[in-house]
Amino acid sequence: MKLSKRGEYGIKALIDLASRDPARGAATVKEIAAHQKIPVQFLEQIMRALKNAGILRSKPGAGGGYALAKPPDQITLGQVVRLLDGPLAPIPCVSKTAYQPCVCPDENTCGLRLTMLDVRNAIADILDNTTLADVTHRVQQAQHLTASRKLRQPSRTRSR
């Protein structure tokens, strides 16, 4: 599995929306694109796909934009990656959603398949058990840690 720019930008946009104060209302594509440094036209396509899949809702007109259609703790990264990038499996013969037989004489004893199945299962376990709420919480922790480190750093000015 390789996360495409489509998958990367989609997840970044969703994290951005999950991190917003709900009182601020919906966010426009231009706001998200500027904040996350994502090309606007590409993000518009991604946001439409996420809306069509029921992950986002949109409000037209002034004060409109996009918002999460479900709470952040109900949207997993696995859902989003599969939607935007397709199966998680690194090779088709280990995919649960897009299985294709391989050319091995015996799939049950193929060393490559057995290893890639472990890879697929590890990736799926992480992405399917990580929600947008989990990610925003980790971001907040990292921001807090970074801010506290800056406060503890000694001043670089010298006394004379």
53-77 b/e (C-beta count within 10 Å ≥ 16 → b) = eebbeeeeeeeebbbbeeebeebbb
pLDDT confidence band for 93 (50 / 70 / 90): very high
Domain-embedded: residue 48: yes
Determine phi and psi for 76, rounding to 5 degrees. Answer: -95, 155
pLDDT digits (tens, 9 = 90+) for 26-73: 999 999 999 999 999 999 999 999 999 999 999 888 778 999 999 999
pLDDT confidence band for 159 (50 / 70 / 90): low
Residue 128: is its pLDDT beyond 70?
yes
Residues near 87 by beta carbon (within 8 Å), at least 6 away in sequence = 1, 95, 96, 97, 98
Domain-embedded: residue 103: no
Give the CATH number for residue 60.
Answer: 1.10.10.10
Domain-embedded: residue 31: yes
Q: What CA–CA distances, in Å, run from 97 to 50, 51, 86, 139? A: 19, 22, 9, 31
Domain encompassing residue 40 = 5-86+130-152
Mean residue pLDDT of the chain comes to 91
Domain-embedded: residue 120: no
Domain-embedded: residue 32: yes
Domain-embedded: residue 15: yes
Domain-embedded: residue 68: yes
Domain-embedded: residue 101: no
**What total number of domains does the chain contain?**
1
Q: Extract the tokens encoding 34.
A: 């500027």
Q: What percent of the chain has pLDDT over 90?
A: 74
